[in-house]
Structure 1
Amino acid sequence: ETSSLLHSCDEILVLLDGTQAIEEQKKFLENLIEKRGLKNKKIVWVINKAEDLKGNFGLLKISAKEGINLEKLKEVVWKNLGLIRVYTKSPGKPKDLPALALPRGATVKDVAKELHKNFLKNFKYARIFNQTKFSGKKVGLNYQLNDLDVVEIHAE
């Protein structure tokens, strides 16, 4: 059932139609959200078909047709999920794709566990590559990772 699906999701994206009465749509959906017991969920309110929409409704305005603000929408959804993207690499090679999606606060230990149990068991150190002046520094298992870090694990 839709209701149980909504209760188990991490985030709800509510898409309003920019060619219809925004306030009426929003009020109707707010009541529905309250009735279903979803008020404590992370909710992203979005107005689509907003190319010619005048006024600021305090909501994210996009146009799927024109490609307006779609990157901003991705950023908002990603940020609300509380995840970071972490890349891995082998020594002397470029980073591997795709990135691992890990919870904010994840450590090198979490990456080692994701990759293979032997990485954790035989761990010596890791190198972290990123956009800081410390890129390439050696770190241990408890090093907290940031979004877009690249982790190179060295094991025995």
Structure 2
Amino acid sequence: MKVKKTKSLEANIPTASMADIAFLLIVFFMISTVFQVDKTSVALPTSHADTRHEVVKESAFVIITKDGTIKASDGVEDSQLVNIEDIQILAASWMQKRPSQPVVIKADGDARFSHVDKVLKHLRDAGVVNLKFLTEQAKSD
């Protein structure tokens, strides 16, 4: 009886699904990336309060730097440089779209209070009711 010689199979790695895997990884990282609407760095004032509130996603931001520069963002787009007189117009348009939208003031700890006070007045006149100040938690000893 004659025995047939079997053919040996070569080992290979199936690469047909590699493109699918790469595409899924790209989509995953694009979806899971967190975008920040404000990248202005300020030295936040410290707070000694025991309660802590998280910043709600898509909150509007008003940033006041040490030298009095003011930036604003509606929570979706990047923050842009604005005049102090334009804050009321911007905030009024935010409140028309979403009346209960939180507005976060991110003021430098060394900013002049007169700048912060003017911004607060303009926000109040625009009808902002949900207002928060961004602070840094004081370290307890």
TM-score (norm 1): 0.24
Q: Which has the higher strand share?
A: 1
The structure number with the bigger radius of gyration is 2
